A and B are shown apart, each in its own frame.
Chain A
Amino acid sequence: MTESLGARLLRILLTQRIALLAVLIVAVVVTFFVQDAGGYLTAPYDFDYMSAALINAVPLAMLGLAELLVILSGRGGIDLSVGAIVSLAGMVFGFAYGEWGWPLWAAIILTALFGALCGALNGFLVSFIGFPALIATLATYYAYKSLAIVINDQQPISTKPIQQLFSISESVELPLFGQYVPDVPLGIFTFLLPTVVAVWVLLARTTYGRRLYAIGTNDVAGRWAGLPVRDTRFKAYVYAGLLSGLVAVVTVGQFASARPDAGVSGNGMALPAITIAVLGGVAITGGIGRVAGVVLATLLIVWLNAGILLAFVGNEGSQYQLLALGAVLIFAALLNGLTNRRYGGTS
């Protein structure tokens, strides 16, 4: 059966989430470039600005990948507690690095392991006891959030070493050809890229990744095929906790302070992370989703948010970011639904 060019393009846009996101990113960037040229923005929207805005992509993409792992694991997998883990693990990092004087590498490892431990509790409840993920992580969201606030009596930790950590969120000039391209935030190289590569390898190149997709698609079939279903699902939550622990370090660096409400203040960090994952084409029913989709979705949101900040003055900018996030999420979700009915799924 032949398909007209238009129908084919539409099918590709709807079924290849990466294609759709690429088109949307171009649309967003071009829109703001045009607005900038017309003088409608309060500051220039150029490659330097876009590069600097990438600093916001670091925590967002990492938590989006954490949600990717747990949502992939199926059975309504979701993690509402990632923001609370960021708060609590951030306080642990604050103590280790800021108060007890641990070396940086040791404090980072401790924080990541602590995050993994928090994730392990989620995974244990979900995978071994049989809690619905929404409930288990709602409960631990409350618990971790509360502990983060009372652990240091509501006080942030911002001793000298913590304040100096701000350097990890600075921008650097790339070697060799750095003078021709904008400076890039250091966190992209120290945290985000290694995470992206690690999660991609985990999902696309290891047995574990194959198993995760398999149990997420159909865990009964997985069990009959002899897969360690519980163990696989448990580990997805542990990895999500581990990533949240690393985000805690990034967040402490960005604020130059270990804040007890870092991951839960305002709207919290879980909501945007889930949004990113869904926008990136991750099916909430499990088993479908790719690292590239999450990364592109992050870029879209980050560059959209950065532009909105320039298009509106003061508080209005952050308010319109909420509007954009909500509208984009609903749009992406309805699109997922439509694509499922028409073409049998997104990839």
Chain B
Amino acid sequence: MNGKARVLPPPVTSQEVVLLGVIAVLWAALAVSTPAFLTAGSIQPLLVATAPVALVGVGMTIVIITGGIDVSVGGAIMVCSVLTAKALVEAEVGLGVAVLLAVAAGGVLGLVNGVLIAYGRVHAIIITFGTANLFLFLGLRIFGSGTVNGIPGTLAFFGRGTAGRTLGVPHAFLITALLTVAAWWYLRHTAGGRHFFAIGGDAQAARLAGVRVRRRVLLAYLVTGLLVGLASCFVIAQGTSTLDQSVGSGKELAVIAAVVIGGTSIMGGRGSVLGTFLGALLVQSVASGVTQLGWRSQLSDLFVGIFIIVAVGADLLRARARARRNR
């Protein structure tokens, strides 16, 4: 047995290769059927829309690798974006302050989740179902009644118009890609990163091996919160000058779908942020394709459902085959 190969998982999993292939085929098919698809005017919005889901997906992947889950990110996005939007409109803060505010707010919400989950010793899904309600309440209270109007273009740097692009690539997407690669490197090549996998594989064994389990778990939710904050800036930046109360609604399920399609095991212990990134890109490509073909936009949810079943089903069958070989 080759020792080194056993320690590190392969740099790119078969799931990621398959996803890349599926996205390529999808893009090719869309390019053939609707010539307008492969133009900057169509691809750029797709990348901008992918960014927040993929970015929150980085945190969600880490959370799920530890064996947890966070269904409160939709509510958290709402809180961070309305807070930041209000700061932009009413206090007329600059770009830096707005980003700091959003990230700090997200961090606080993530900390609340992390503390309750790491120290309350209750399964994460229950706690985050609870905090999802609390965050929604908080978001709606900050909204007051109605919408936030007249948001200035302060955050345009992240993706709106030419100011938001370098070499044609929207900054939100660029930042997301960079952070994804950084997280991939961290999870794979540092002891701290691999602790997350150890916890998801067997928390008890990890504790006995000297991993500070609670602190790591708290960190996972905190990181998710911080990324939610940054993602909220992307959300404000991609929108028009109005923010309404549906912001963030259903995003938790979209992010979890991207993570699962990307090949991360919901049981914990196994997963990759690169897969999540591709999963988010795939989901958004489908949504974009469905509208470009002139179908009802809600039909894309049906495809997302089918993709989840196919992606996870293939993984289950592979695992079963592996188990049979090892017997």
Contacts and interface: CB of A to CB of B under 8 A. Distances in A.
A154 B131 contact: no
A133 to B, nearest CB: 9
Given A141-B253, A315-B145, A146 B301 contact: yes
B217 interface: no
A35 to B, nearest CB: 20
Interface string B113-126: 00010001111011
A146 B300 contact: yes
Given A315-B145, A319-B141, A337-B121, A142 B126 contact: no
A167 B13 CA distance: 57
Contacts of A322: 133-134, 136-137, 140
B258 to A, nearest CB: 11
Contacts of B122: 333-334, 336-337
Nearest to B123: A284
Interface string B245-264: 00001000100110010000
Nearest to B308: A139
Interface in A311-338: 315, 319-320, 322-323, 325-327, 329-330, 333-334, 336-337
A311 to B, nearest CB: 15
B309 interface: yes
A145 interface: yes
Given A135-B312, A149-B298, A315-B145, A333 B134 contact: no
B141 to A, nearest CB: 6
Contacts of B161: none
B312 A142 contact: no
A291 B11 CA distance: 49
A140 B305 CA distance: 6
Contact of B301 (A145, A323, A326): A145
Contact of B125 (A284, A320, A325): A284
Contacts of A142: 253, 257, 301-302, 304-305, 308
A143 interface: yes
A7 interface: no
Contacts of A130: 316, 320
A134 B301 contact: no
A113 B309 CA distance: 23
A32 B205 CA distance: 50
A80 B256 CA distance: 13
B101 to A, nearest CB: 23
B273 interface: no
Contacts of A327: 130, 133-134
Interface of A: 78, 80, 125, 129-132, 134-136, 138-147, 149-150, 153-154, 266-267, 271, 274-275, 278, 284-285, 315, 319-320, 322-323, 325-327, 329-330, 333-334, 336-337, 341
4 nearest A-B residue pairs (beta carbon) = A326-B133, A143-B305, A142-B305, A146-B301
Interface of B: 69, 116, 120-123, 125-127, 129-134, 136-137, 140-141, 145, 249, 253, 256-257, 260, 266-267, 296, 298-302, 304-306, 308-309, 312-313, 316, 320
